[in-house]
């Protein structure tokens, strides 16, 4: 129990031993289907939903991983069962699951292999976002557009993400520390790199881009459920970029952070320019759902590791 374990292609190894050949299609083409999960108190959150999405993505790219969803669930659970006791008390883990088609024959001497399947965990990097529950995020609407649905369907969760990288680079050039919001080909709000976008208007409630046009985020679905429990209306519709800064509140939601407030968009204050009341209600409801005070955990763990949680 002194060192963590990871799983790759039927073998249990230490994380430092995780490797893929340079001719693997996941490396050559970025052809990798992936899911990122997190734990709360050492328990994986919404594992079944993540596995359903993973298997759907694999169906889209026509790759059979050689493992059923149930078998992958057992592997993920075993990774966390072994690794969670190795972290500090009150800490939690992220879990990565990814599958590639295997070798890319043109680079592998014509040799084809079976898929590469990997499950691994890592300490959640709380220092990257602990202070943002208090201070908020800043976003910039990017001129880099989301991949068109005719290229690959929005529900495919994959690591072919150069457009995300470019969008965030340009956003940070426009405003230090900002994250990018990508539009679709028709100029409507789509999503951020690695996060869904949701706005709040007092007269309408929460508003998300149409689910058919974005990655169906597990955290987005959770946010909608929590809003329903709080009596906050939730709807899906096309969102124009100008609506973001004019919203009463604006949020990013994703697996590790759960939900973060956005306080500036394209240099303009969103609402009062500070995290708002609806954000606080949603974060409190999420904390109650998982049995962890999410902001306090992030601040405490970031401080313990010497991260920026001030």
User: In this structure, is residue 60 part of a structural domain?
Assistant: yes
Residue 161: closest CA among 133, 194, 137, 138: 194
End-to-end CA distance of the chain: 33
Q: DSSP letter at 172? A: H
Give the E-state strand segments of 71-210 in sequence order. 93-100, 116-123, 137-141, 179-183, 189-192, 196-201, 205-208
Which residues of the chain register pLDDT less than 50?
Answer: 308-310
User: In this structure, is residue 310 part of a structural domain?
Assistant: no
User: In this structure, is residue 263 part of a structural domain?
Assistant: yes
Q: Do 146 and 23 share a structural domain?
A: no
Q: Do 152 and 270 share a structural domain?
A: yes
Give tens-digit pLDDT for 145-184.
999 999 999 999 999 989 999 999 999 999 999 999 999 9
Of 124, 154, 169, the one marking the end of a domain is 124
Q: Which residues contact 104 (CB under 8 A, 6 or more apart)?
A: 23, 24, 25, 28, 29
Provide the pLDDT for residue 310. Answer: 39
Show the tokens assigned to 108. 């592998």
User: In this structure, is residue 309 part of a structural domain?
Assistant: no
Provide the pLDDT for residue 308. Answer: 46
User: In this structure, is residue 1 part of a structural domain?
Assistant: no
Provide the pLDDT for residue 141. Answer: 98
Of 80, 105, 124, the one marking the end of a domain is 124
Domain containing 80 equals 6-124
Q: Do 297 and 187 share a structural domain?
A: yes
Residues listed for the chain = 310
Give tens-digit pLDDT for 58-93.
999 999 999 999 999 999 999 999 999 999 999 999
Of 104, 124, 144, the one marking the end of a domain is 124
Provide the pLDDT for residue 25. Answer: 96
Q: Do 119 and 258 share a structural domain?
A: no
Question: How do 116-123 and 196-201 pair as beta strands?
Answer: unpaired
Q: Which residues contact 177 (CB under 8 A, 6 or more apart)?
A: 138
Q: Do 165 and 238 share a structural domain?
A: yes
Helix 69-83, helix 47-60: angle, nearest 10: 130
Q: Do 85 and 35 share a structural domain?
A: yes
Provide the pLDDT for residue 1. Answer: 53
Q: Do 253 and 196 share a structural domain?
A: yes
User: In this structure, is residue 275 part of a structural domain?
Assistant: yes
> How many structural domains compose the chain?
2
Distance (Å, whole) CA 276 – CA 222: 19
Cα 120 from chain centroid (whole Å): 16
Q: Do 145 and 273 share a structural domain?
A: yes
CATH number for the domain spanning 60: value is: 3.30.470.10
Q: Do 97 and 162 share a structural domain?
A: no
User: In this structure, is residue 186 part of a structural domain?
Assistant: yes
């Amino acid at each position: 129990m002194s060192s963590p374990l990871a799983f790759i292609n039927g073998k249990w190894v230490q994380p430092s031993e995780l490797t893929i050949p340079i001719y693997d299609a996941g490396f050559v083409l970025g052809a990798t289907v992936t899911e990122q999960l997190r734990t709360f108190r050492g328990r994986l959150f919404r594992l079944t939903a993540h596995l359903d999405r993973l298997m759907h993505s694999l169906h889209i790219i026509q790759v059979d991983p050689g493992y059923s969803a149930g078998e992958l669930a057992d592997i993920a659970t075993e990774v966390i069962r072994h690794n969670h006791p190795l972290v500090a008390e009150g800490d939690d883990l992220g879990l990565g699951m990814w599958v590639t088609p295997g070798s890319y024959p043109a680079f592998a001497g014509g040799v084809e292999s079976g898929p590469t399947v990997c499950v691994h965990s890592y300490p959640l990097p709380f220092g990257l976002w602990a202070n943002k529950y208090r201070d908020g995020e800043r976003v910039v609407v990017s001129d880099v557009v989301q991949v068109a649905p005719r290229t690959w369907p929005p529900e495919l969760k994959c690591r072919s993400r150069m457009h995300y990288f470019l969008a965030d680079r340009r956003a940070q050039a426009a405003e230090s520390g900002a994250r990018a919001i990508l539009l679709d080909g028709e100029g409507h709000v789509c999503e951020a790199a690695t996060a869904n976008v949701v706005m709040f208007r007092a007269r309408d409630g929460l508003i998300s881009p149409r689910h058919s046009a974005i990655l169906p985020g597990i955290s987005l679905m959770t946010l909608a459920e929590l809003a329903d429990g709080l009596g906050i209306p939730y709807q899906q519709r096309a969102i124009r970029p100008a609506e973001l800064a004019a919203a009463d509140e604006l949020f990013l939601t994703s697996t590790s952070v759960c939900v973060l407030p956005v306080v500036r968009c394209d240099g303009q204050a969103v609402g009062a320019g500070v995290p708002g009341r609806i954000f606080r209600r949603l974060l409190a409801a999420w904390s109650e759902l998982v049995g962890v005070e999410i902001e306090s955990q992030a601040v405490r763990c970031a401080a313990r590791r010497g991260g920026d949680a001030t």
